[in-house]
Each structure stands twice: as C-alpha cells, then as structure tokens.
Amino acid sequence: MGEEVITRDDVLAARQRIDGYVRHTPLLQAKVGTGPLWLKCEFLQQTGVFKTRGAFNLLLAARHRGELDASAGVVIASGGNAGLANAYAAATLGVRATIFVPQTAPAVKIERIREYGAKVQQVGTEYAEASEAATEYAQVRGALLSHAYDRSEIAAGAGTLAEEILGDEPSIETIIVAVGGGGLYAGVATAAEGRARVVPVEPYSCPTLHEALAAGRRVDVSVSGVAADSLGARHLGEIAFSVASRLNPASVLVSDEAIVSARLQLWRDYRIPAEHGAAAAFAALSSGAYRPAGNERVAVVVCGANTDVRTLEPE
C-alpha cells in the first residue's frame, strides 16, 4: 500500500468524527511496585477492543468521501479483534462486512464476529494469508479494504485513546502500549508527541517493531506464542515504522511466561479479563522489563478483553 503518515490533527479529527460511536473508557489508578500507575481500561470499549475507534473512523471518513458502498461493504483481514471492530462498526452504520481470519483465530472471536452479522472467511494459518485473500476480495467485489493497523484512519482512530489519557490525567509522563502491526503505537505516539513518551512492548515471539528498528527497515519476523492471535503481524506497518523511525522509542520485549503471569495478575488484582496481547504492555512492568525512573507517572493501555474467561481461573 502507498506510504501514509498521520499527524495529531488527524487524531483530533478522528476524535470528533467518532464521538458518539465509541466509549470514553476509564483511567483506573493502580500500583505496581511503588510508583504511580494508571490503567487505561480500553478493554471496556465497544466490542472489547481499541480497534473499534479506528474502524469507525475509517468507515465514517470513507462514507463522507463517497467511497463506501453499503452493498459491497467493507472487507478486512484480521486475527480476530480488527474483524470484531469492523463488523460492529459496519452493522452500526448499516453496511455489509466480510472478515477474513486465519484458521487459527480464537473461536470466541469468530463467534462474536458472526453475531454482528458479518460473513467470516477462514483462510490459512497466519494473518498474512488472510490479508492476501481480503485484498483480492476487495479488488473483485469493490468492497472498501480496511486494515488491522496500516491505514491512516485506523492509526488516527487508535490515537484518540491517548487524547483521553492525557485529557483525564495530564501529569502522565509515559504511556505503555502493546505492538503487533503497530497501529496502536503509531496513533498513541503521534497524539502524545511532545507531551508524554510512548513505550512499545512486544513478545519475543513476534518482535516486529524491535527488529525493524534494529534493521533500519521493515523486516519479516516469525510469528508464534501466546499472543500471536492479536499481536502476530509478520511485519510492522509502514505508518508505525515511519513514526518509530522519527521518535526512536525504547523498544521492550517480554516473554510468553511474563505475559501469562501479567494476564493472571490483572485478573486477580483488578478483575480485568485481558487477552494475552492486551496483557503484554502490563507485563513490561510486572516482569521488570521496563523499570520506571523514580516517581515516573505511567499509564498502561489494557487494549482488549476478547478472551475465554474460563482460562483465567485455575482448574
């Protein structure tokens, strides 16, 4: 796809555009260690994931430009969460949605996508294979091609949650986010630039941003691990790479074991039913992979809760 960039003006326009369609999610004061901490409870968003923001921003902007045909609708490839968000947004706006997912996508997400009235097509075992199928579908059917992370409207929509964080608590100095393809990082870092640093966190098992920064270009990585269904992009998006190249963030990697432990801690201590990908950001703190300095004021984005809650309690 062509190179796209976003600015804070894009984020502010997205905030105005999606107002009334998405929730302003709460900022919960918490504690890990001794420093001040807030949890951005984005798992309480419509559909249980931050991606609803970008989905509405894209569909509403496309409709305004006359690019959204209700009968052809929208098509997207997704590990599950972006599909949920686009299915919900499409249903709300009265347009057709077709969602391509890998055969490995969690059943709980596929079931919910269908509940929103979208058609689900399962293709391949990785996101990249579903993405190729979605692109071909858009070309043949004339559907609007959405993207899980690498469209300007998607990233700008994600950035609106940073506007909420810093609007609710302007003293926050650091925002920690999980990274898959990088749409959340790109949007949040763009919105927060000059006001707060943004720390991207990835599993060792799918380090798209970390490897891109090390190589100085986007590179393919192998995809595996407990968070692969939501963070398992094979390479970083162009928009995220553009933002990261400019800001050169401190990239943090966490193990699957740390993610599993963080997810259980979020449930035990706060009754937050985070999916593994959403627990990755918190894992950076709980495992010590990221150590705040002194009284550094930190917010962690808990970005999704589309998980089987039965896995949160011991047998």
Q: What is the CATH number of the domain that holds 130?
A: 3.40.50.1100
Q: Is residue 3 part of a domain?
A: no
Residues with Cβ < 8 Å from 88, sequence gap 6 or more?
A: 46, 47, 52, 55, 116
pLDDT above 60 (res 199): yes
By C-alpha distance, which of 112, 83, 81, 79 is closest to 97? Answer: 83
Q: Are 73 and 95 in contact (CB under 8 A)?
A: yes
Asked if residue 259 and residue 161 are part of one domain, the reply reads yes
Total of domains in the chain: 2
In one-letter notation, the amino acid at residue 298 is V
By C-alpha distance, which of 304, 297, 25, 60 is closest to 160? Answer: 25
CA distance 204 to 225: 9
The whole-number pLDDT of residue 2 equals: 45
Strands 27-32, 35-40: pairing kind? antiparallel
Q: Residue 91: CA atoms inside 13 Å, Cβ hemisphere, count?
A: 18
Q: Is residue 150 part of a domain?
A: no
Asked if residue 283 and residue 169 are part of one domain, the reply reads yes
pLDDT above 80 (res 79): no
Q: Is residue 56 part of a domain?
A: yes
Query: Could you tell me which residue, 249 or 230, shows the higher pLDDT?
Result: 249
Asked if residue 169 and residue 247 are part of one domain, the reply reads yes
Mean per-residue pLDDT for 94-112?
Answer: 89
pLDDT above 80 (res 255): yes
Averaged confidence pLDDT in the chain = 93
- The whole model's pTM is what? 0.94
Residue whose entry in the numeric block shows the structure tokens 């627990």? 279
Boundary-marking domain end, from 145, 167, 189 = 145
Q: Is residue 244 part of a domain?
A: yes
pLDDT above 70 (res 18): yes
> pLDDT digits over 116-140, tens only?
999 999 999 877 788 899 999 999 9
> pLDDT digits over 83-102, tens only?
999 999 999 999 999 999 98
Q: Is residue 22 part of a domain?
A: yes
Asked if residue 128 and residue 264 are part of one domain, the reply reads no
Boundary-marking domain end, from 108, 124, 145 = 145
> pLDDT digits over 21-77, tens only?
999 999 999 977 768 999 999 999 999 999 999 999 999 999 999 999 988 999 999
Asked if residue 102 and residue 39 are part of one domain, the reply reads no
pLDDT above 60 (res 191): yes
Range of the domain at 192: 8-50+155-312
- Lowest-confidence range among 36-50, 217-231, 239-253? 217-231
pLDDT above 80 (res 301): yes
Q: Is residue 1 part of a domain?
A: no
Residue 314 confidence class, pLDDT cut points 50, 70, 90 = low
Asked if residue 291 and residue 239 are part of one domain, the reply reads yes
Asked if residue 275 and residue 173 are part of one domain, the reply reads yes
Q: Is residue 187 part of a domain?
A: yes
The whole-number pLDDT of residue 313 equals: 76
